[in-house]
Amino acid sequence: MKYLCLVYLERGKLRSVPDRECAACGDGFRKDGVLLAAEALQPVDTAATVRVRNGKVSVVDGPFAETKEQLAGFYLLDAANLDAAIEAAAKIPPAREGSIEVRAVRELDV
């Protein structure tokens, strides 16, 4: 089963974990054969929010919701079950500074 581990950090802590550590974490997941994808994200003020209403595209700056923590990156992992995914998520370095939301991937109903 695939789990998306979403890394959330407060604005001031976005660079509090050295990139080197995050890269090493990804390498570890790759070696264990559980890594499907992982990326770090630019801060939310670089974001654009897109909506289509009545066929018309509207674009505004910034994220949809103002929250204290922002999405800073993600790891897409392959794990046997939620406990295995939680165990892996606990190894993601920003877990020390912010939080990791572990979400199961839903297969499209087609």
Partner 1 sequence: MEAPEDVRKKVDALYVAESRRVLATLIRLLGDFDAAEEALQDAFRAALEQWPREGVPANPRAWLVSTGRFKAIDGLRRRARFDALEDAGVNADVAVIDSDAWADREAVEDDRLRLIFTCCHPALAPDAQVALTLREVCGLTTEEIARAFLTPPPTLAQRIVRAKAKIRDARIPYQVPQGPELPDRLDAVLRVIYLVFNEGYAASSGASLMRNDLSAEAIRLGRLLVDLLPEPEAIGLLALMLLHESRRASRTSESGELVLLEDQDRSRWDQAQIDEGRRLVERALRTRRFGPYTIQAAISAVHADARTASETDWNEIVELYDLLWRSDPSPVIELNRAVAVAMRDGPGAGLALIDAILDRGDLLEYRLAHAARADLCRRLGRSDEARQSYARALSLTRQEPERRFLERRLAEVS
Give the helix ranges, DSSP H, for 34-93: 82-89
Q: Is 109 in the site for partner 1 (CB under 8 A)?
A: no
Number of residues that bind partner 1 (CB under 8 A): 11
Of 4, 15, 11, 25, the closest CA to residue 93 belongs to 25
- Are the C-beta atoms of residues 40 and 22 closer than 8 Å to each other? yes
Near partner 1 by CB under 8 A: residue from 21, 81, 96, 101 = 81
Residues 6+ apart with CB under 8 A from 19: 40
| Binding of residue 21 to partner 1 (CB under 8 A) | no
80 binds partner 1 (CB under 8 A): yes
Give the largest Cα separation in the chain, rounded. 47
Counting contacts by CB under 8 A, is residue 48 touching partner 1?
Answer: no
Query: Smaller CB distance to partner 1: residue 50 or 108?
Result: 108
Q: Does 1 bind partner 1 (CB under 8 A)?
A: yes
- In the complex, the residues that contact partner 1 under the rule CB under 8 A are 1, 80-84, 86-87, 103-104, 106
